[in-house]
A and B are shown apart, each in its own frame.
Chain A
Amino acid sequence: MSARNEARLWLAQRATAALLAPCVLVHLATLVFAVRAGLSAQAILERTHGSLAWGVFYSAFVLAAALHGAIGLRTVAAEWLGWRGAGADAASAFAGLALALLGLRAVAAVVL
Chain B
Amino acid sequence: MLRVAVWRGGAQGKLQEFEVPRRPSQTVLDVVTYIQRRLDSTLSYRFACRVGMCGSCAMTVNGKPRWTCRTHVDRVGGDGRLVIEPLANLPVVKDLVADLREFFDKWSRAGGRFHPTQARDADFARVRPDSRQRREADAGIECIGCAVCYAACDVVKWNPAYLGPAALNRAWTLANDPRDGAQRERLAAVAGDAGCHACHTMMSCTELCPKHLSPTRSIAGLKRATLGFALGEGES
A interface with B by C-beta (< 8 Å):
1-11, 78-80
Contact = CB atoms under 8 A, between A and B. Distances in A.
A10 B158 CA distance: 18
B235 A3 contact: no
A11 B159 contact: no
Q: How large is the interface on B (under 10, 10 to 19, 20 to 34, 35 or more residues)?
A: 10 to 19
B159 A7 contact: no
A11 B227 contact: yes
Nearest to A6: B192
Contact of A8 (B155, B195, B223, B230): B230
A11 B231 contact: yes
B159 A4 contact: no
B231 to A, nearest CB: 7
Interface in B157-203: 158-159, 188, 191-195, 197
Interface string B203-236: 0000000000000000000010011011110010
Interface of B: 155, 158-159, 188, 191-195, 197, 223, 226-227, 229-232, 235
26 contacts: A1-B193, A2-B192, A3-B188, A3-B191, A3-B192, A4-B192, A4-B229, A4-B230, A4-B232, A5-B192, A6-B192, A6-B193, A7-B226, A7-B229, A7-B230, A8-B230, A9-B197, A10-B197, A10-B223, A10-B230, A11-B230, A11-B231, A78-B193, A79-B158, A79-B159, A80-B158
Contacts of B232: 4
B195 A3 contact: yes
B230 to A, nearest CB: 4
Contacts of B191: 3-4, 6-7
Given A6-B193, A11-B230, 11 more contacts: A1-B193, A2-B192, A4-B188, A4-B191, A4-B229, A7-B192, A7-B229, A10-B197, A10-B230, A11-B227, A79-B158
